């Protein structure tokens, strides 16, 4: 009997010893996130404990057959398995506070939860493969983990999320589209996965609280993203002076847009292109030096900036303006003083589009 008990104890110890190894093996696989919602249901909560009627319910397939609110949870039941949340389904439901989707869902449509400004929790299962444009725009989310099957952060997906502080991007992400997180002022840091191949202009525009980038394309100090010698984003929180790294040849559109604290920007020698609206609405910007290498300046580049702004424009030949769609070029604030090489003053004043700033142009010995 003692031998039997000893053998059983020994087998139990061996099994316990194997468990950590088995757990390690599991950890190496992709995490499966399933919130336990039946595949024909969506769960939700509201601030007033009342049911919500989806905005475009008739467009949702499969059809909703019941919608009840009991205790602390709303339950929306569909006639069969839910594989996608249709576009605009929950838009403008200001009382929606949380939503939990079943693991059968693979797609969330465009503007599905737009303007749900009290939506603080979105439980998205790992089965989701795509999330449409502006799906959670102007929502009340404070944190979000994007499923690993998502490869593209679509335009304005989480724009204007005033409470958003934490974002975990998927490890298989390849592209972040313009305005994906624009105007989310409480976002402090963001880590770009190594899989990312492209970050479009203004992806993080208006993120006033952003102070650090990490991961792919991040500069050594974490203050900006640089890809293919192009400055594509800046973390503006508390930034008053910014020196663009040597080797940068282009500044993408809207890079410094609404950087409220920025006063001075130094563009490196070798830069050739300043994109459209790069410094628009930088209300405290007082000084920018444009190196001699610059050949192109975008539409609206320096408009709506500080009243006492000084532009040191070193090129001897006036840079080519990127003319707007109406055939004009609004390059500078009307309050700017534009210093150009002494020998090029008349050339600037008589060059098309630059001539409109003739009264602002002053000769300078560089």
What DSSP line would sit under 55-80, residue for residue?
TTGGG-SSPEEEEEEETTEEEEEESS
Domain of 292, CATH number, reads 3.80.10.10
Q: At which residue do the structure tokens 């594989």 appear?
A: 83
101 CA to centre of own chain: 23
HSE-CB at 155 with a 13 A cutoff on CA atoms is 2
Torsional sign, CA 134, 136, 141, 144:
negative
Confidence at residue 14, expressed as pLDDT on a 0 to 100 scale: 39
Extended strands (E) in 164-229? 166-168, 175-176, 189-192, 198-199, 212-215, 224-227
If DSSP codes are grouped into helix, strand and coil, which group holds residue 239? coil
List the chain residues with pLDDT less than 50.
Answer: 1-29
Query: Residue 225: beta bridge partners?
Result: 218, 233
pTM: 0.86
What pLDDT is stored for residue 326 in this prediction? 67
What's the CA gap between 214 and 193, in Å, rounded? 9
Q: What is the DSSP letter of 317?
A: S
Alpha carbon distance 270, 252 (integer Å): 15
Q: Tokens 């576009």 sit at which residue?
A: 87
- Spatial separation of the C-alpha atoms in residues 250 and 247, rounded to whole Å: 9
In a domain, 180, yes or no: no
pLDDT per position as a tens digit, 226-275: 999 999 999 999 999 999 999 999 999 999 988 889 999 999 999 999 99
d(CA 41, CA 100): 9
At 41 the three-state DSSP class reads: strand
Contact status, residue 167 vs residue 143, Cβ threshold 8 Å: yes
| Residue 336 included in any domain | yes
Q: Is residue 221 part of a domain?
A: no
Q: Which pLDDT score, from 0 to 100, does residue 58 have? A: 67
Pairing of strands 337-341, 310-313: parallel
| Residue 249 falls inside a structural domain | yes
Nearest to 164 by CA among 151, 183, 149: 183
Q: Looking at residue 19, what is its pLDDT?
A: 34
- Residue 326 belongs to a domain: yes
Task: Please give the pLDDT value at position 26.
Answer: 32
**Nearest 5°: phi and psi at 69?**
-130, 120
pLDDT at 16: 40
- Consecutive H or E run containing 16: helix 2-27
pLDDT of residue 2: 44
Number of domains in the chain: 1
Structure token digits, residue 87: 């576009």
Domain that holds residue 330: 238-366
Is residue 321 a part of any domain in this protein? yes
Instruction: Tell me, yes or no, whether 290 lies in a domain.
Output: yes
User: CA-to-CA distance for 23 and 93, rounded, in angstroms?
Assistant: 42
User: Is 83 part of any domain?
Assistant: no
Q: Are 225 and 213 in contact (CB under 8 A)?
A: yes
Pairing verdict, β 224-227 and 241-243: unpaired
Q: Do the beta carbons of residue 139 and residue 163 sit within 8 Å?
A: no
């Amino acid at each position: 009997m003692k031998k039997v008990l000893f053998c059983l104890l020994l087998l139990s110890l061996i099994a316990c010893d194997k468990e950590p190894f088995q757990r390690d093996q599991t950890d190496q696989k992709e995490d499966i996130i399933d919130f336990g919602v039946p595949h024909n249901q969506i769960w939700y909560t509201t601030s007033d404990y009342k049911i919500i009627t989806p905005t475009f319910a008739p467009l949702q397939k499969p059809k909703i057959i019941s919608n009840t609110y009991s205790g602390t949870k709303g339950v929306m039941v569909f006639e069969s398995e839910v594989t996608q949340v249709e576009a605009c389904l929950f838009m403008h439901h200001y009382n929606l506070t949380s939503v939990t989707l079943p693991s059968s869902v693979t797609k969330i449509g465009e503007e599905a939860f737009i303007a749900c400004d009290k939506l603080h929790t979105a439980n998205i299962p790992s089965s989701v493969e795509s999330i449409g444009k502006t799906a959670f725009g102007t929502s009340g989310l404070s944190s979000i983990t994007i499923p690993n099957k998502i490869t593209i952060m679509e335009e304005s997906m989480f724009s204007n999320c005033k409470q958003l502080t934490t974002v975990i991007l998927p490890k298989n992400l390849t592209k972040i589209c313009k305005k994906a997180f624009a105007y989310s002022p409480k976002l402090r840091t963001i880590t770009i996965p190594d899989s990312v191949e492209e970050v479009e202009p203004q992806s993080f525009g208006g993120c006033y609280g952003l102070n650090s980038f990490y991961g792919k394309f991040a500069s050594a100090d974490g203050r900006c993203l640089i890809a293919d010698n192009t400055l594509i984003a800046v973390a503006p929180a508390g930034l008053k002076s910014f020196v663009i790294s040597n080797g940068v040849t282009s500044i993408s559109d809207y890079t410094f847009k609404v950087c409220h604290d920025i006063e001075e920007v130094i563009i490196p020698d070798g830069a050739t292109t300043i994109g459209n609206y790069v410094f628009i609405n930088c209300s405290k910007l007082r000084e920018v030096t444009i190196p001699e290498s610059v050949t192109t300046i975008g539409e609206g580049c320096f408009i709506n900036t500080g009243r006492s702004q000084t532009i040191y424009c070193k090129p001897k030949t006036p840079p080519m303006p990127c003319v707007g769609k109406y055939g004009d070029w609004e390059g500078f604030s009307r309050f700017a003083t534009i210093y150009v090489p002494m020998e090029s003053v008349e050339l600037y004043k008589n060059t098309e589009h630059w001539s409109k700033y003739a009264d602002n142009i002053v000769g300078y010995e560089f």
